[in-house]
Amino acid sequence: MKVIHTADWHLGRILNGKSLLEDQAYILNRFIEAMDNEQPDVIVIAGDLYDTSYPNKDAIQLLESTIDTLNLEMGIPIIMISGNHDSKERLNYGSKWFEKSNLYIRTKLEDINIPISIGNVDFYTLPFATINETQHFLKDNTIETYQQALSKSIEYMSNNINKNNTNILIGHLTVQGGVRSESERPLSIGTVESVEADSFQQFDRVMLGHLHHPFSIDSDFISYSGSILQYSFSEVNQPKGYRIIEIKEDTIKEKFIPIAPLRQLEVIEGDYEDAIQEKLKVKGKDNYLHFKLKHMSHVSDPMVHLKQIYPNTLALTNQTFDFSAHIHQDNYEIQKLDDETIIDKFYKNITDEELTQTQSKTVAKVLNDLLEGGSE
C-alpha cells in the first residue's frame, strides 16, 4: 500500500500583507500532477488545511477544487484531520456525504477510537484539541498538559487497536525536540506543548502535522510532512514537498519528495547600494524577499526603490549599526521571546516587580483565549 503524507496547507495564508493564494494554487497543481504519477492508495492530510478559522471564499474554493480533482476525478481516498488553525465545524461541514466517496474528514474527539480501515491498515485520527476539550471529552479533570492529554487519548484508543493490523496514527501536535518555525501559531500559552515520542509506541507509524520543517524530528517511525510552502522567513531554505510511505507486509519504507514552488522565500543581506545596483546574489527576482540592508539611512522610501527591481519584496530591515544600535539589539532580542515572557519583562521594567503567580495565570489565560478565539 502506498500512502502519501502531507499537511499544513494553510490555504488563505497572507505573508506580510501578500496573499499567497496564487502560490498555493500553483503548488497544489504540482501536487495533483505528482499524485497522478504516484497513484497512491490513500492521501493523508494531517491538519491546518486553512490558515484561519474564517477562510475567504477563494481559499475555500481552492481546497474544494483540489480535493474534487484528487478524490472524485482521480478516485483517491483521502483522510484529513483539523489542525489548530482550522475551524472544526467549518472543515467538518458535509463530511457524512463525503465519506461515501472515501473522503474522510475527522475533526471530533468522538471518533478517535474508530479507525478508518483501508486494506489491513487502520488509520487512527487525532485532530487538534485543546487541553480543555480533551478534559471535557474524556471527563478527566486531572489532564493539565498536552502530554497527559495525548497519553489519555491514546489509552482511550488502545482497546480498539488490533495488533494484527498495521496501525497508523494521524495527528497535529508538537513532538519534543521538533524544529520550530515562526508560522506555526503556538498550541497554547503557559503550558509545555510538546509531547514525548515514546507516547506513540502502540503505532507502527505516526504521520504528523503542525511543524513546518519536513525533517523536524529524528525518529524511525514518526514523521512530519512539513508544510507545502515556506510560510515565514524562518523557513528559508527548508525543502517543501510530501512523503511517500510504502507498507509491504512487515516493512514500512518512506521517503520525502520535494516540489518546487512558484516563488521561494529569500533573505538578502548586504549594502543598500549593492541591492539597487543588482550586485547582491538573489536566486530569483520574483521570489519573496526579505532585505536586511546597511547604509540606507539617507534614502527616502527605500522599499519603493527595491520593489521596482524586486516586485515581491515583502520586508526590509535596516542593518546599519549606529546610535540606535542598542535599540536594534533589543528588538532582535524581543523577537526571539514568546508573548508571555515579553509581557513579564515589560511588567518588571515598569514596576520593578515580578508578576505574581495569579497574574501570570491571568496573562496566560488571556493569551490562550486569544488563540482559541481564532477558532470561533
Q: Which residues bind a copy of itself (CB under 8 A)?
A: 57, 60-61, 64, 68, 72, 87, 89-90, 93-94, 96-98, 100-101, 103, 376
Distance CA 102, CA 262 (A): 31
Distance CA 313, CA 305 (A): 10
Q: Which is nearer to a copy of itself, 52 or 216 (CB)?
A: 52
Q: Which is nearer to a copy of itself, 57 or 326 (CB)?
A: 57
Work out how close the CB of 94 gets to a copy of itself at its nearest, in angstroms, rounded to a whole number.
4
Pairing of strands 14-15, 2-6: unpaired
Q: Which is nearer to a copy of itself, 95 or 219 (CB)?
A: 95
Work out how close the CB of 92 gets to a copy of itself at its nearest, in angstroms, rounded to a whole number.
9
The helix (H) or strand (E) run that includes residue 172 is strand 166-172
C-alpha cell at 306: 527595491
Q: Which is nearer to a copy of itself, 97 or 323 (CB)?
A: 97
Q: Which is nearer to a copy of itself, 109 or 343 (CB)?
A: 109
Distance CA 303, CA 218 (A): 40
List Cβ<8 Å contacts ≥24 apart for 130-133. 130/187, 130/188, 130/372, 131/188, 131/191, 133/109
Work out how close the CB of 99 gets to a copy of itself at its nearest, in angstroms, rounded to a whole number.
9
Which whole-number Å values give the CA distances from 2 to 14, 52, 235, 246, 368, in the listed order? 33, 31, 28, 5, 39
Instruction: Provide the 10 A C-beta neighbour count for residue 160.
Output: 13
Start-to-end C-alpha separation, the chain = 38
Work out how close the CB of 54 gets to a copy of itself at its nearest, in angstroms, rounded to a whole number.
9
- In angstroms, how far is CA 266 from the centroid of its own chain? 19
Work out how close the CB of 11 gets to a copy of itself at its nearest, in angstroms, rounded to a whole number.
13
The single-letter code of the amino acid at 352 is: D
Work out how close the CB of 216 gets to a copy of itself at its nearest, in angstroms, rounded to a whole number.
32
Whose CA is closest to 12, among 46, 53, 43?
53
Q: Which is nearer to a copy of itself, 30 or 90 (CB)?
A: 90
Q: Which is nearer to a copy of itself, 79 or 157 (CB)?
A: 79
Q: Which is nearer to a copy of itself, 68 or 254 (CB)?
A: 68
List Cβ<8 Å contacts ≥24 apart for 190-193. 190/340, 190/360, 190/361, 190/363, 190/364, 190/367, 190/368, 191/131, 191/144, 191/145, 191/146, 191/364, 192/145, 192/146, 192/147, 193/146
Work out how close the CB of 95 gets to a copy of itself at its nearest, in angstroms, rounded to a whole number.
9
Work out how close the CB of 337 gets to a copy of itself at its nearest, in angstroms, rounded to a whole number.
34
Q: Which is nearer to a copy of itself, 101 or 147 (CB)?
A: 101
Work out how close the CB of 84 gets to a copy of itself at its nearest, in angstroms, rounded to a whole number.
17
Q: What are phi and psi of 324, to 5 degrees?
A: -95, 20
**Burial class for 268, CB neighbours closer than 10 Å (0-12, 13-18, 19+):** buried
Whose CA is closest to 275, among 241, 213, 317?
317
Work out how close the CB of 87 gets to a copy of itself at its nearest, in angstroms, rounded to a whole number.
7
Please say whether the beta carbons of 213 and 181 come within 8 A.
yes
Q: Which is nearer to a copy of itself, 128 or 203 (CB)?
A: 128
